[in-house]
Each structure stands twice: as structure tokens, then as C-alpha cells.
């Protein structure tokens, strides 16, 4: 792979990380997809066959993972259900205090390694009535209420990308394939609007009511910075949310999010498998 694939605005801070990965063979074969795994779905990474693997902590200049203790944060490349995939296990959250651009570190690196299709997963609180815990939502649009945008900073994208449109941030064709993948494995995915807040506190009932009136169907604390960056870089993106709780309920807890995530990880994996086997051209 040559550096010609690298975006002209590739952040200098991530150059050493990208170089490190390339030295270890990442990107030598072109990844058909970059997959970012949300809370509870990390085990999907175990399915990668013949993987190259690298912990984020080995990547020079890469943000320090501030993840929950005991969580593995690493990137792998290999055959995931027959598809050449880059798999990011662990992501950067705004509530951990990272610089805006660092929230999309995985996306920059994925793009630098040649991935042009981005599949993002997350756990989210359900707002719409027909999205109880255990539901699967295909993100059709988002509302960014994080108070941060990953494209903010002194080193901006240039030209037309300086103010990138977000009218089609979630690729309709890829979302169609995601919905089809769900149908293929007997899962009913509902399209919906994902709102992201800064966190780390969960929402009050009044905030959930506000989000509902704004048009949000589910709420979380991730994904949007990754999709904004991917879309600005010209990647086709789609997002899959597992609803783990009813947003704004008194019992909301990170424990529940992880538990429902783990309990439903096989269903999420089944949908991802069907999607990866029918990704279509980027
Ligand atoms: N709110 C915000 N983030 C979340 C939630 C929620 O209810 N559930 C899972 N992630």
C-alpha cells in the first residue's frame, strides 16, 4: 500500500500509529470494511481468522485508552466471516476527556489503511416506544448533542471537505444491506435517529422528553464523531444500535448496558455476519 491512499489532511499525530500498523502488515491487503465494536460486542473480534493484532497502547502517539478497567482495546485485521476486515475493539469516548479529533482516531487509521466502508455498533438507550431493551436499530440519521465535533481543530480538512455535508452521512445503500442482513437472520431492525450526548451521566426524564421532541429515537454517548469523520473522508457508513435500556429510567446503569449487550452479542454478531457477507462495492 502506498501513501497515495492517505488523505492529505491525515493528522500528523496519527502518522506514527499508522506507520507502526503498516510495518506490522496492516493494510497490505485492502480491508473491505472497518468495524468499530461497541460495549458488550468485543467478542466479535475473536471471530477474526488469521488476524494481525495490535493493542492501542502499542500505537505510538495514539490516544491512551481510558476505557473501563479490564477491557481489551486493540485493532485486528483478518478474515471476519470471509471478509477482509479491520476490527476495532474499544473506542474513544468524549466523556473521557479526549481532544475532539482523537474521538475518531480509529476512523483516521482505518481510512489510512485503505478501508472505505465503516460499520459502527453501539449500545443505546431506547426513546421511541417501539424500541424496548433488546431491540436492534439501524441508524438512519443522527443528532449531535455532544457539544463537540471531531473535525474541530487547527488542522482542518481542506477544500470541499472543510465544511462537509452530513445530508447522507449514513449511506442509504449500506443501510439497506444492513436491514436485509437483519431479515436474513430473522432479526427485525428498525430504522431510527440516534442522538449522542456527552455523558457520562445518563439522561434525566426531562432530557429524554426533550430528545424525543427533537426527533431522537435512541440516545448514546459514541458513534457520531466516528461517522462524521468517516463521512467527511468519503467513507460509506452505517450504524447498528442495540437498545440496552429505556432511556431515562431510574435504574439506568452501565452494568445493565454491558449485561444486555453481552446477552444479545450473538444476535448482533449474526446481523454483522450477514452484512459482511453481502457488503457490496464501496
Ligand atoms: N443513555 C446514554 N447512553 C447510553 C444509554 C442511555 O440510556 N444506554 C446505553 N448507552
| 236-269: pLDDT as tens digits | 999 999 999 999 988 778 888 888 888 999 999 9
Q: Work out whether strand 189-197 and strand 136-145 pair parallel, antiparallel, or are unpaired.
A: parallel
Instruction: Give the residue numbers spanning the domain of 72.
Output: 6-150+168-277
Cα distance between residue 91 and residue 106, in whole Å? 7
Q: Which three cell numbers stand for residue 3?
A: 501513501
122 flagged as catalytic = no
Does some domain include residue 136? yes
Task: Look at residue 157 and tell me if it is in a domain.
Answer: no
Catalytic residue from among 32, 47, 92, 93: 93
161 lies in a domain? no
- The number of helix segments (H) and strand segments (E) in the chain equals 7, 9
Task: Flag whether pLDDT at 71 surpasses 80.
Answer: no
Rounded to the nearest angstrom, the distance between the alpha carbon of 14 and the centre of ligand 1 is 29
Q: How far is the CA of 152 from the centre of ligand 1 (A)?
A: 25
Backbone phi, then psi, for 47, in 5-degree steps?
-80, -10
What tens digit of pLDDT does each residue of 129-172 get?
999 999 999 999 999 999 999 999 877 777 767 889 999 999 99
Pocket test for ligand 1, best of 123, 135, 145 (most atoms within 8 A of CB): 123
pLDDT of residue 2: 42
User: Annotated catalytic residue: which of 34, 39, 137, 194?
Assistant: 39
What is the tens place of the pLDDT at every residue in 16-64? 999 999 999 999 999 999 999 987 888 899 999 988 999 999 999 888 7
Q: What percent of the chain has pLDDT over 90?
A: 78
CATH number, domain with residue 200: 3.40.50.1580
Mutate to test the pocket of ligand 1, among 125, 246, 258 (most ligand atoms within 8 A of CB): 125
CB 166 within 8 A of CB 143: no
**260/5 Cα distance (integer angstroms):** 39
**Minimal-distance CA residue to ligand 1 atom 2:** 220
Does any domain span residue 227?
yes
- Domain presence at residue 271: yes
Nearest CA to ligand 1 atom 3: 220
Q: What is the total count of domains within the chain?
A: 1
Instruction: Give yes or no for residue 33 CB within 6 A of ligand 1.
Output: no
Residue 158 lies in a domain: no
Q: If you measure from the C-alpha of residue 64 to the centroid of ligand 1, how many angstroms do you get, rounded to a whole number?
A: 23
The verdict on whether 245 is a catalytic residue reads: yes
23 occurs within a structural domain: yes
156 in a domain, yes or no? no
**CB 244 near ligand 1, within 6 Å:** yes
pLDDT tens for each residue of 181-221: 999 999 999 999 999 999 999 999 999 999 999 999 999 99
Q: Is the CB of 224 inside a 6 Å radius of any atom of ligand 1?
A: no
Q: Is the CB of 203 under 6 A from ligand 1?
A: yes
The model's pTM is 0.95
What angle in degrees, to the nearest 10, is found between the helix axes of 105-112 and 15-23? 50
Amino acid at each position: 500500500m502506498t501513501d497515495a491512499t492517505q488523505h492529505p489532511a491525515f493528522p500528523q499525530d496519527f502518522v506514527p500509529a499508522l506507520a507502526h500498523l503498516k510495518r506490522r502488515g496492516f493494510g497490505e491487503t485492502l480491508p473491505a470494511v472497518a468495524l468499530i465494536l461497541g460495549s458488550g460486542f468485543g467478542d466479535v473480534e475473536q471471530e477474526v481468522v488469521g488476524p494481525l493484532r495490535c493493542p492501542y497502547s502499542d500505537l505510538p502517539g495514539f490516544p491512551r485508552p481510558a476505557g473501563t478497567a479490564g477491557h481489551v482495546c486493540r485493532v485486528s485485521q483478518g478474515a471476519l466471516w470471509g471478509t477482509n476486515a479491520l476490527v476495532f475493539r474499544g473506542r474513544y469516548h468524549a466523556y473521557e476527556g479526549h481532544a475532539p479529533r482523537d474521538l475518531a482516531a480509529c476512523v483516521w487509521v482505518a481510512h489510512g489503511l485503505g478501508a472505505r466502508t465503516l460499520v459502527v455498533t453501539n449500545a443505546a438507550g431506547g426513546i421511541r416506544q417501539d424500541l424496548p431493551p433488546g431491540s436492534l436499530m439501524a441508524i438512519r440519521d443522527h443528532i449531535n448533542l455532544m457539544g463537540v465535533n471531531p473535525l474541530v481543530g487547527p488542522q482542518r480538512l481542506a477544500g470541499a471537505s472543510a465544511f462537509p455535508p452530513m445530508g447522507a452521512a449514513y449511506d442509504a445503500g449500506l443501510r439497506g444491506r444492513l436491514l436485509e442482513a437483519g431479515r436474513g437472520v430473522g432479526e427485525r431492525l428498525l430504522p431510527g435517529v440516534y442522538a449522542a450526548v456527552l455523558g457520562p451521566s445518563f439522561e434525566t426524564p426531562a432530557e429524554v422528553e426533550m430528545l424525543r421532541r427533537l426527533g431522537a429515537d435512541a440516545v448514546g454517548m459514541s458513534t457520531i464523531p466516528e461517522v462524521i469523520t468517516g463521512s467527511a473522508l468519503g467513507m460509506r457508513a452505517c450504524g447498528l444500535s442495540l437498545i440496552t435500556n429505556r432511556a431515562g429510567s431510574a435504574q439506568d446503569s452501565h452494568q445493565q448496558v454491558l449485561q444486555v449487550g453481552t446477552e444479545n452479542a450473538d444476535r448482533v454478531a449474526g446481523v454483522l455476519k450477514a452484512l459482511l457477507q453481502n457488503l457490496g462495492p464501496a
